Amino acid sequence: MESGNDGLLHSALDVLGLPSAELVSAETRATDASVWQVRHDGRLLAIRVLREEQTSVMEIEHRSMDLVRSAGVPAPAIVSTAMIDGRRPTMAIEWMAGESVGDVLLQKPHLARRLGAQAGNCLAKIHAIPDPVIPGSDNWIARGARNDPALVASLTRLSVRAGSLLHLDFHPFNLVAQGGRIVGVLDWTNSSVGDPRADVARALTILQVSAPLFIAEHGARRMTLGLFTRAFMQGYQRNAGSVEDLAPFMVWAGQWMLEDLGPILDQLPVANPLRLRDRIVQKTADWRALAHLS
């Protein structure tokens, strides 16, 4: 199978020291990278090429995955990193066998509770990593509170536990399952250090706002996602303790989602992107009222 961007792939393989790697699946494009699956010395790898301005993103991913792997959290091993022509960051990462938890929920809804509890436990384990340092990571509050001094003040006052490693894109399609178990956590591009409730709120916003539209359009029942979400929170709180004062963090997550998805809304895999935007706006307004933010 050939890729429509062979030159870029070959350049990446050369600088990564993998010139003999065999292409397995053609290029797929995410919002932040082009990705290919290749085989090298009998091992499946993901080759990711990021945009020119994303050198710091590669460094953040590398550091985050090293941290979580050393703490026993399943994440892909980074085989090598390099720069194409000194400008475009590229990475060779272990390809994790299995299916996304999102796909498993679509096909085997009876696993929703089990996988949800495992997901919550996994996120709690990430937040328990002591004294994480992520060079180059930004101020997490600014992502969802630009031009919102009331929210900034509320989050700053509440964030007494601001030293946890945050994944910040923790959802079923970034989790890999095999044999009814979660065996991998993918996509560490958003990771930062901050209050763990920000990570919980980001995950809940995805599960409650955008994911229901996606799975409904693919034939799954929203009840499946509800079961997963409840089990996720139970598993998280069983290991990390109760989550309190979450409403301001939900406002933050909703505003970040709106800003994050706005430029690519028409590219999302949902039939009615405007309906998604309206859901984000409405839910964020509801959370804002709960948080007593003017």
Question: Can you give the pLDDT at residue 95?
Answer: 95
The answer to whether 60 and 191 have CB atoms below 8 angstroms apart is: yes
Cα angle: 180, vertex 186, 188; to 5 degrees: 150
Local confidence band at 3 (pLDDT 50, 70, 90 cut-offs): very low
Closest CA to 206 of 237, 174, 234, 235: 174
Backbone dihedral angles phi then psi of residue 99, each to the nearest 5 degrees: -120, 155
Question: Can you give the pLDDT at residue 168?
Answer: 97
Look-up of token digits 């460094």: 59
The answer to whether 259 and 146 have CB atoms below 8 angstroms apart is: yes
Look-up of token digits 């995805």: 206
- Domains with residue ranges and CATH for the chain: 6-94 (3.30.200.20), 99-290 (3.90.1200.10)
pLDDT per residue over 72-105, tens digit each? 999 999 999 999 999 999 999 999 999 999 999 9
Residue 214 above 90 pLDDT? Answer: no
- Tell me the whole-structure pTM to 2 decimals: 0.92
**Side chain identity at residue 268, one-letter code:** L
Local confidence band at 1 (pLDDT 50, 70, 90 cut-offs): very low
Average pLDDT over every residue of 183-211: 95
Residue 270 above 80 pLDDT? Answer: no
Distance CA 24, CA 168 (A): 30
> Which tokens sit at 194?
């901050």
Q: CA dihedral in degrees (264, 273, 220, 28; nearest 10)?
A: -20
pLDDT per residue over 12-40, tens digit each? 999 999 999 999 998 786 667 899 999 99
Q: Report the chain's mean pLDDT, rounded to a whole number.
A: 91
Question: Can you give the pLDDT at residue 31?
Answer: 66
Local confidence band at 129 (pLDDT 50, 70, 90 cut-offs): very high
Question: Can you give the pLDDT at residue 53?
Answer: 86
Residue 113 above 90 pLDDT? Answer: yes
The share of the chain scoring above pLDDT 70, in percent, equals 93
Local confidence band at 216 (pLDDT 50, 70, 90 cut-offs): low
> Which tokens sit at 230?
């409840």
Higher pLDDT, 11 or 1: 11
* E strands in 42-87: 43-50, 78-84
Judging by DSSP bridges, how do beta strands 33-40 and 22-29 pair with one another? antiparallel
Question: Can you give the pLDDT at residue 160?
Answer: 76
